[in-house]
Amino acid sequence: MNFPFYKKTVPQRPSEPVTLPPSRPTSEIKEETYMPDDGLVDAVNVALLLGQPLLLTGEPGTGKTHLAYHVAWQFGLEVLKFETKSDHKAQDLFYIYDALRHFHAVQVAQARNQDTPNVKDFLDYTALGKAIILANELKTVKEFLPTTFIKEHPGKPQRSVVLIDEIDKAPRDFPNDILNEVEHYHFHVPELNTTISVEDEQFKPILILTSNSEKHLPAAFLRRCVYYNIPFPKEEVLKQIVESRLGDIAKNSSEFLPDALALFHKLREQPLKEKPATAKLLNWLMTLHKMFKDSNNTEYKYPDALSRTLSTLVTNTDDQKLAEDILKDWLNDKK
């Protein structure tokens, strides 16, 4: 199906649904194309040596989240992700107990004169709790697991990468409430009156946390982490990132890519409230390629093509007018 897919007007509604082209996240990163800088590599190794969590900050789109997947890919491990929300409690990082469903099941069982349901079948182990359980042999933790989890457990202990994404979104007390659990990799389950911990250090989860620095994290928590701020990539590194992630699109655009990067850097130099990030750059380049590939990647030089896709780079309403003026000046300079 040729672009454009959606049109301003069509003669009539089709009698059958139209088959659209398959879509995917345009900034999708393959693990093998992730490019950490030297400082980030050192930070990962220090965290591994000390057995401490790695806390990452940096601009959105600089690859904080995807580091966990790259580490897991390189070591052949599984990623267990916890997406932090503003209403999460510390317990939610380890497990969630469905008390209401348990109460209802007990009432039904009593009415039918059946055995009382086991509380463990109403526990749902989440990222760090699941990783701690998987770090043990099944026989040592089986009595604490719901039937569905027993089937998932490989039997032998395994190590996992745990990603706690955007921990700064959590309530203020959340980081302090998990200090001991994160330091010693254990957690208490009062519903079962037991504490589950990692028995063998070699299977201790690799813990990676990200923060967008929307609010400060407690000092006591920071002291227990290895910290690294991912800087925005330099121009040459950014070019390498684009080439590695966009493949032939970048390699076949010898004139297009330098100009696109030049405009991107021009926008980042201006006092925008939200500077465009690497992920937005990749989305923009992909959009230009998909929309204007029939014109040999040259139509991007015309104001219409660029202004129509500029919102991919600049998503803040106040910034968009300034970005349009920057685009006009940049085009005039190229004449």
Per-residue pLDDT of the chain (335 residues; tens, 9 = 90+): 677 788 888 889 889 998 887 766 544 567 777 889 999 999 999 999 999 999 999 988 788 999 999 999 999 999 999 999 999 999 999 999 999 999 999 999 888 888 888 999 999 999 999 999 999 999 999 999 998 899 889 999 999 999 999 999 999 889 989 998 988 899 999 999 999 999 899 999 999 999 988 778 999 999 999 999 999 888 888 888 887 777 766 665 556 677 788 888 888 988 888 888 888 888 888 877 777 655 454 444 456 667 778 888 888 888 888 888 888 888 787 76
Residues forming beta bridges with residue 56, ordered by sequence position: 210, 228
Model confidence pTM above 0.75? yes
Residue 135 burial (10 A CB sphere; 0-12, 13-18, 19+): buried
Number of Cβ within 10 Å of residue 278's Cβ equals 22
Tokens standing for residue 103: 């109460």
In the prediction, which pLDDT does 249 show? 65
Q: What are phi and psi of 13, to 5 degrees?
A: -70, 135
